[in-house]
Amino acid sequence: MLHEYRDEISTLKQENAHFAKIFEKHNELDQMTTDADEGRLHLSDMELEKMKKEKLLLKDEALNMILKYRKEQQENA
């Protein structure tokens, strides 16, 4: 997720417990949706759709936190 922000993600995971939690939850959902899409995990279409929406919301939240952090770093430089 968001590989172009690798440095920011690494720092935020260490410094911000909420960011670390949503990042971990996103990765869990990503693995589960991949497993479902590839037939290793059996979910209803509704369950899968709900997981994908939650994953997207977490990604959006993480990206907003990354962009805020990056802006703060640039302002303090």
- pLDDT tens by residue, the chain, 77 residues: 678 999 999 999 999 999 999 999 999 999 999 999 999 999 999 999 999 999 999 999 999 999 999 999 999 98
pTM: 0.88
C-alpha–C-alpha distance, residues 2 and 8, integer Å? 10
Burial of 19 from C-beta contacts in 10 A (0-12 / 13-18 / 19+): buried
C-alpha–C-alpha distance, residues 48 and 34, integer Å? 10
Query: Left if phi > 0, otherwise alpha if psi is -120 to 50, otherwise beta: which for 2?
Result: left
Closest residue by Cα to residue 25 from 3, 46, 51, 47: 51
